[in-house]
Amino acid sequence: MSSDIAIAKAFLQDLEKRFAKSEKSEIGTLLASLVSMRYKGKDNIREYIMEMSHLASRLKALKLDLSEDLLVHLVLISLPPQFNRFKVSYNCQKETWSLNELISHCVQEEERLKQDKTESAHYASTSKDKRKKRKDKEAADTQPPKKQRKNPSDFQSSGCFSCGSDGHMKKQCSNYHAWRAKKGLPGLPKTK
């Protein structure tokens, strides 16, 4: 019976070795994810930074400890161009922020950007509408009414385009053929 247990233990240990993840590959995957993360501006910035922090804590569990300063810089690097003024402001300060301070400041900046975006969108839409109305009114006052196009079937019944008389088309018009000959243009193929 004890030999069966020893065999089972050996079998389970062997099985564990075969299915165990390599710590090095997991560290590489997590680190690549952390470094390649980019904030798109669609989600909540607090959740985004917490997700980066979670990846850093998973790396710490695998014995790769990233300092909080490094994580703060990784977050700042991953922010989109809308946050450029915010990044410059951070870089001009002498003190460094903790991760919690960074989250707080980023949330404030995100709110400020949303307000600016709403105000500029409102401004653009109202001024655009005024200009369009003004242009439409000016165009209506200055332009003569457009000529209406005739129906293609009306052209056949109206006669020759060259001399304007009824009874023949431009291809059969003697005046048109004479004009082409005078200009040195090749003649048209004869029609029946």
Is the distance from CB of 102 to CB of 52 less than 8 angstroms? no
Taking phi first (over 0 means left), then psi (-120 to 50 degrees means alpha), and beta for anything else, what does residue 37 get? beta
Q: What confidence score (pLDDT) does residue 8 get?
A: 87
Q: What confidence score (pLDDT) does residue 108 get?
A: 93
Per-residue pLDDT of the chain (192 residues; tens, 9 = 90+): 678 888 888 888 887 777 666 778 888 999 999 999 999 888 899 999 999 999 999 999 988 899 999 999 999 999 999 999 999 999 999 899 999 999 999 999 999 988 887 766 666 666 656 666 666 666 666 655 554 545 555 545 567 878 888 888 888 888 888 888 888 888 776 655
Q: What confidence score (pLDDT) does residue 90 get?
A: 92
Q: Which two tokens stand for residue 73?
A: 């810089």
Q: What confidence score (pLDDT) does residue 143 get?
A: 56
Q: Is residue 72 classed exposed, middle or buried when 0-12, 13-18 and 19+ CB atoms within 10 A define those classes?
A: buried
Predicted TM-score (pTM) of the model is 0.52
Q: What confidence score (pLDDT) does residue 17 get?
A: 74
Q: What confidence score (pLDDT) does residue 132 get?
A: 62
Is the distance from CB of 90 to CB of 79 less than 8 angstroms? no
Give the integer Cα–Cα distance in Å for 83 and 76: 9
Is the distance from CB of 173 to CB of 163 less than 8 angstroms? yes
Q: What confidence score (pLDDT) does residue 43 get?
A: 82
Q: Look-up: residue for tokens 């023949």?
A: 168
Q: What confidence score (pLDDT) does residue 48 get?
A: 94
